[in-house]
Amino acid sequence: MQLNEIRFDGQRPVDGYGPGFFRIGGQVMTGAVLLLPDRSLPWGGPGDVAPIAAALEDIDVVLFGMGPEIDNIPAATRTCLDEAGIGVEIMSTPSACRTYNVLLAEGRRVGLALLPV
């Protein structure tokens, strides 16, 4: 079996998570978090669409980690992102973290919006 080193090309993967926190690129962040290609920042939750829409030039899709279970995002959030041409995928937070790291390793233009577990 051949193992290859994963390269994230300067972007920060999700290293881990737990109750109320995320470890992103070695840095611990508490509460809801938004990861964009050039930064990680606190996020206001599913209704806080402005920073995601502002990243239109940098991302093609945003993964929403909605906590321990899958939940819907507000219709206005989905409409705004659809109109901006940004794809939306909704899943549980653990699934979103894993999927984000895989897509990041593939060099995809992806954002991640996370609610804590």
Whose tokens are 């109750």? That residue is 19
- pLDDT tens profile 20-41: 999 999 999 999 999 999 899 9
Structural domains present in the chain: 31-115 (3.40.1230.10)
What is the rounded CA–CA span in Å between residue 71 and residue 60? Answer: 21
Q: How far is CA 74 from the centre of its chain?
A: 17
Radius of gyration of the chain, Cα coordinates, nearest whole angstrom: 14
pTM of the model: 0.92
What is the rounded CA–CA span in Å between residue 77 and residue 84? Answer: 11
- pLDDT tens profile 44-81: 999 999 999 999 999 999 999 999 999 999 999 999 99
